[in-house]
Chains A and B, each alone.
Chain A
Amino acid sequence: NAGVTQTPKFRVLKTGQSMTLLCAQDMNHEYMYWYRQDPGMGLRLIHYSVGEGTTAKGEVPDGYNVSRLKKQNFLLGLESAAPSQTSVYFCASSTGRRNIQYFGAGTRLSVL
């Protein structure tokens, strides 16, 4: 039981490049979330999903897209990366019955 797994762990992009971050969970959780973490700003919700095939915007969705084609996977896409998207990205999952969230190890992204 691996829990929540994120790939890649590190990535450096040039402005304008695109990439996809993958989150996979093996706990059969319905709900999944993408956060970004910046110094002094806590964890801010980008997008979330309450089930396979559904996604919704969080607090800071601009510049990101997501997809949940399979229950266990939640993908975060950056179509045209900007330096302001330099951050650490965390994926999390939850059963939703309680608000306990289980986090992945994070992806450190730098956009030059």
Chain B
Amino acid sequence: GENVEQHPSTLSVQEGDSAVIKCTYSDSASNYFPWYKQELGKRPQLIIDIRSNVGEKKDQRIAVTLNKTAKHFSLHITETQPEDSAVYFCARPGDGSYGKLTFGQGTILTVHP
């Protein structure tokens, strides 16, 4: 199957700074790229997603950008706050789809007050 590589594995920032997490994929057919946030001890929850017909999508302090040519997509968090501290997962549609997702390895984001 086709994996998705996520970097960095850990990211530490000061409150108010920006954070960027990047994922790369190799399957040209992938057309949907979600990001999930998992707070400590909680379930993963979708925070933003993008489809391949657009290059950028924003929702308040978070945004996702997609570069189809280079096959990578990124999560951008601006004006970070301590409550942004969590594990973030990128994903792409799994082989054969059926709603399946293949997840990246996750990024532990820590926002220091």
Contact = CB atoms under 8 A, between A and B. Distances in A.
Contacts of B89: 42-43
A99 B34 contact: yes
A105 B99 contact: no
A99 B105 contact: no
A26 B103 CA distance: 25
- Provide the main secondary structure of the chain A interface: loop
A42 B104 contact: yes
B25 to A, nearest CB: 14
A59 interface: yes
Interface of A: 31, 33, 40-45, 48, 50, 56, 58-59, 90, 94-96, 98-101, 103-106
A96 B94 CA distance: 12
B1 interface: yes
Contacts of A94: 99
